[in-house]
Chain A
Amino acid sequence: MKVPDSAVEISGDTLTIHLVDVPVVDAFSFPPPLPPAPENGISPVTLIPSRLSFDITYTKSGSSRVIRPATRDPLSPLNWGGEMWDASNSGSFSLTYKDGSFSASGSFSSQGNFGEMGTAHNGVFVDPDELSASNAGPGASSGAQVNATSQLAGKTGKTVLLKGHVPVKINDQ
């Protein structure tokens, strides 16, 4: 959903989001199955109008990972670039069905689960010159590139593109 820019505040190592009474829907199953007959008189694809409020704080930590596109495959999860940090997050929420039949409130935290934050770009914002030199083959398979990029995870460095499109990795130290 689109939210006001003012709902998000970014300061230092934290990103906070505060939303009140956002219209959302509840569903009873995922993915919504193709029809057949509903059970118990309730369609499995019924979406129940609800209102949700929450506050969440994301906090980045450690060193950044510079991510460079590893493939030109438009469907690949590795066709993007950015600079990301590991991040924890925690928050609280309240939820109310529009008809008032159900409501709940609670809290949550990452508890060591994966999270990240940073800057990212994909699609038309990916410069073909960003493509990793080791994966420059236009027809290279995304599977091989997944492995190649996985090896880069967790490494920190600043990547600079020089004229002639030769990628050079410069360690921070």
Chain B
Amino acid sequence: MRVVPMRISLLLLFLLFALITPLQAQIDPIPNLTIQPIPIRGGDIIPPYGLFNQFFPGPPNQTPPFYPANSDPNGIGNFRGVAAMGYTFGSATDNHGNPYGVVTDIRVYQGEYVGGETASANSGGATKSAPSRGTFVEI
């Protein structure tokens, strides 16, 4: 299978989807969600971006290296519930018939969490802790 160099390679497209979402979680709120989930506090420092709040568990002795297999798969902090994740490879075809390689890291979380909600309408946006539950996907 031929992997088409970017302009927009799905090989990176899906990887970017997988990795951009947590970045957005740091930059943008989830629209219309009263109690916002809080990212985990640790992660990778990726210059020049900064701290990327995600761990990548996997087997040892890989290049590039994974975190230990028992690392937290969650992107959400203060979370309790079901989590599923996994790395995949695949293939795709675009609307012009071009083939692509696909790499994914899609994670699913369903359960309760303690996030942040507006503390007061007059607080200027300050938050306070609040419990909630929901289903989230990182793609």
Contact = CB atoms under 8 A, between A and B. Distances in A.
Given A78-B68, A150-B68, A27 B82 contact: no
A124 interface: yes
Interface in B54-78: 55, 57-60, 66-74, 77-78
B72 A79 contact: yes
Given A58-B84, A150-B69, A80 B48 contact: no
B20 A30 contact: yes
Nearest to B109: A120
Task: Name the interface size band of chain B.
Answer: 35 or more
Interface in B37-93: 38, 40-43, 46, 48-49, 52, 55, 57-60, 66-74, 77-93
B42 to A, nearest CB: 4
12 contacts: A1-B138, A2-B134, A22-B137, A31-B46, A104-B92, A107-B90, A114-B87, A116-B57, A116-B73, A117-B82, A121-B79, A121-B80
Interface of A: 1-5, 7-8, 10, 15, 17, 19, 22, 24-34, 47, 52, 54, 56, 58, 65, 67, 70, 74-80, 82, 84, 87-91, 93, 95, 102-111, 113-125, 146, 149-150, 152-154
Interface of B: 6, 8, 10, 12-17, 19-21, 23-24, 30, 33, 38, 40-43, 46, 48-49, 52, 55, 57-60, 66-74, 77-95, 100, 102, 104, 106, 108, 110, 114, 134-139
